[in-house]
Amino acid sequence: MLEKLESVYQQAQAELTEIRDSAALAAWKSRYIGGKGAVSQLLRGIGGLTPEERPVFGKRANEVMAALDEAYAAREVLVQDIEMAADLEGAALDVTLPGRQPAMGRLHPSTQTLRRFSEIWAEMGFSVYRSRDVETDEMNFTLLNFPPHHPARDMQDTFYTTDPDVILRTHTSAGQIRAMRELGGGGTKPIRVVLPGMCYRFEQITNRSEAQFYQVEGIAVGHNITMSDLKGTVAEFARKMYSPDAKVRYRASYFPFTEPSMEIDIECFLCGGEGCSVCKHTGWLEIAGSGMIHPVVLRNGGYDPAEWSGFAFGMGPERIAMLKHGITDIRNFWANDSRFLEQF
């Protein structure tokens, strides 16, 4: 029996060194050291031994059991390592692969244009004045020399609230009076500001007109400000915004709050003035309305028009972004389609 025990011990050890997975390890365990394993089976036959043989066998069987237990525990650790390594190999992690680019947000094309505007106007000494989106009819129209029921009000279809005097501003010109009153020191100080902001019009939405859009207004009030200051300033803006040799032209126009009034065109930067579909074959693109601030408006802002004069202009950054990038549908600006926005 002792010989049998030794041979079981040898065999168990030999088999154990070949085992590489946990299923085989579990089978080995029940075959040799489990309750019904080979060592236990032999121990159960101890009754057939002589009283002298019994303690010798029993002692040796316990030693064998303990040695196999220990060998099992050591092998178990090794098998776990082997299996983990195989798992990792299966997952095939290639650390040299380039990572995935996270999707990056970016500034909306209108915001980009607005920021560029503010930068250029700041270089020319204009600070930013933030007026309000919700306005009074008085600021938006009356004080800008649109008398009640004047047909010029129809040029700008208005969103009204339940209070007939409270409207959404139809143009940033609505902030002119506020800026003059707030910064002009009661008609004693010159001012030079731009007023960027959202405007709202109750319009049929088409590829060329939206119910909301940005404008950037500008006003300069001082002593001896003339039409040539306006022309020079706008021409300088065009050179900075488009190109150092941008050409500008002025066309007589009408706005109730300026006199004289003019519209400002720049030579089409897409065709260089030759004529193309963007400039409708005229060679020119309209970029702003402008003029000398009407004496009535100056007075409403607190200035004495006998001593003070000023110019004003208003531009639409979306329109300018459309011209610059060849965008044919203004609705893209509010559709929030990332395929459009990603291009800027």
- CB 222 within 8 Å of CB 126: no
- DSSP type of residue 278: T
Q: How far is the CB of 95 from ligand DAH (least distance, A)?
A: 59
Site for ligand DAH in 260-289 (CB under 6 A): 289
For residue 251, what are the β-bridge partners? 263
**Residue 234 in the binding site for ligand DAH (CB under 6 A):** no
Closer residue to ligand DAH in complex, CB, 37/314: 314
The span of 14-22, 46-54, 299-307, 312-320 binding ligand DAH (CB under 6 A) equals: 312-320
Q: How far is the CB of 291 from ligand DAH (least distance, A)?
A: 4
**Interacting residue with ligand DAH among 38, 177, 312, 323 (CB under 6 A):** 312
Ramachandran quadrant class, 92 (left: phi over 0; alpha: psi -120 to 50; beta: rest) = left
Q: Give the E-state strand segments of 172-283 in sequence order.
A: 191-200, 212-222, 248-255, 258-267
Number of other residues whose CB lies within 10 A of the CB of residue 336 = 9
57: helix, coil or strand? Answer: helix
Among residues 113, 107, 106, the alpha carbon closest in space to that of 318 is found at 113
**Residue 255 in the binding site for ligand DAH (CB under 6 A):** yes
Q: How far is the CB of 104 from ligand DAH (least distance, A)?
A: 35
**Interacting residue with ligand DAH among 131, 173, 233, 309 (CB under 6 A):** 173
Positive or negative CA dihedral for 229, 234, 237, 242?
Answer: negative
**Residue 178 in the binding site for ligand DAH (CB under 6 A):** no
Q: How far is the CB of 307 from ligand DAH (least distance, A)?
A: 21
- Binding residues (CB under 6 A) for ligand DAH: these are 171, 173, 217, 255, 258, 289-291, 312-314
